[in-house]
Structure 1
Amino acid sequence: MVVEIKKDKAIIEIERSAACKSCGMCLGGNNNKMRIEVLNQPNAEVGDRVSLDIQRRSVLIAYSTVFLLPLFFLVSGFFLGEFLVNSFSIGLDPQNFGFFMGLIFLGISYLLIRKIDTKVASNSQFEPHISRVWKKN
């Protein structure tokens, strides 16, 4: 539901679900509801009910970045660590060193994700938009 209008933006109050617990898009709210600011292109008014949508491609990019990138870094770090120990005969256990390198690479992936997040935060492609308006009675 639209609860406030600010210039060309609408403040929408939505039910909080388990999927949106900590995405960072909301403006706060209580435990059951949260508020989000979106572009008000269809000129919704306070009290109108609206449907929000986000591009499917954007969701896939976000999921890939958050879930697959750390997994890729973890596995790559593990195999790189094993390869280094086996190649240079360092005298360490290859699996332990691989595990250690995997954790280091995992940490690096989270730093990279934070950098990516700040870069795309201003990209409107990743913002929800109003797809449908039901006018209040």
Structure 2
Amino acid sequence: MRQTGVVVSTNENTAILKMQRHSACASCGGCGMGKEEGKDIQIEAINKIGAAKGDFVEVDVSTPNVLKAAAIAYVIPLIVLFVGIVISNKVLTAINYSSNVETMSAIIGAFLMSIVFIIIKKNEPKFKKSEEYTPIITNIAEETTI
């Protein structure tokens, strides 16, 4: 997936870019912008080509890595939620839990999903260090509307 953006600032090996949010992100809301398509976002990208502040650049993120990151962030917690609900329902029924089994199963499933989200968040610095999930500036582009 290739997009363009403008360099806002640079660090040693990275740059902060201002980009227009991609239409594929419209329903995600992961950047905190809800469904406001067309709004600008800022991302951090690896700057191997030495782009400077104000440069218009092309940014590349491989599609399989985007899908893998989405699976880590959304699919794994969802699977844990469902598995937690099903297993806790069976265990609570087997031990003759006296209160509402379905409600307690949902609470346990949500608790397990929360733990997975915490684990993912705790490992986020490790994901950021990996170039596998980080956008890479590949080229200085012609000036376009951002």
TM-score bracket, shorter-length normalisation? 0.7 to 0.9
1:85 touches 1:93 (CA, 8 Å); kept in 2? no
Flag structure 1 segments of 5+ consecutive residues without an equivalent: 25-31
Deviations 1:60-95 (A, max 9, x none): 121111111221111111112211122122323332
Q: What do you get for the CA RMSD once the two structures are aligned?
A: 2.9
- The alignment status of 1:116 with 2:123, answered yes or no, reads yes
Tell me, in whole angstroms, the C-alpha distance in 2 between the residues paired with 1:81 and 1:43.
Answer: 53
Percent identity, aligned pairs only, is: 23
Deviations 1:102-134 (A, max 9, x none): 122122222122123233122222111113322
1:104 maps to a residue whose letter is F
SS of the residue 2:132 aligns to: helix
With over 3 angstroms needed to count, the CA separation of the structure-2 counterparts of 1:122 and 1:86, relative to structure 1, is same
| Structure with more of its chain in helix, by fraction | 1
Candidates 13, 19, 23, aligned match of 1:14: 19
1:40-119 equivalences in 2 (<5 Å): 40-119=47-126
Tell me, in whole angstroms, the C-alpha distance in 2 between the residues paired with 1:59 and 1:121.
Answer: 13
1:56 Cα shift?
Answer: 1.9
> TM-score, normalization: structure 1?
0.72
Deviations 1:1-29 (A, max 9, x none): 234454544443323467386549xxxxx
Equivalent pairs, count: 130
Flag structure 2 segments of 5+ consecutive residues without an equivalent: 1-5, 33-38
With over 3 angstroms needed to count, the CA separation of the structure-2 counterparts of 1:89 and 1:11, relative to structure 1, is closer
1:114 maps to a residue whose letter is K
2:140 maps to a residue whose letter is V
SS of the residue 1:124 aligns to: coil
Tell me, in whole angstroms, the C-alpha distance in 1 between the residues paired with 2:16 and 2:94.
Answer: 58
Deviations 1:21-75 (A, max 9, x none): 6549xxxxxxx43444433323434543211111222211211111112211111
SS of the residue 1:50 aligns to: strand
1:70 maps to a residue whose letter is P
Equivalent in the alignment of 1:29: none
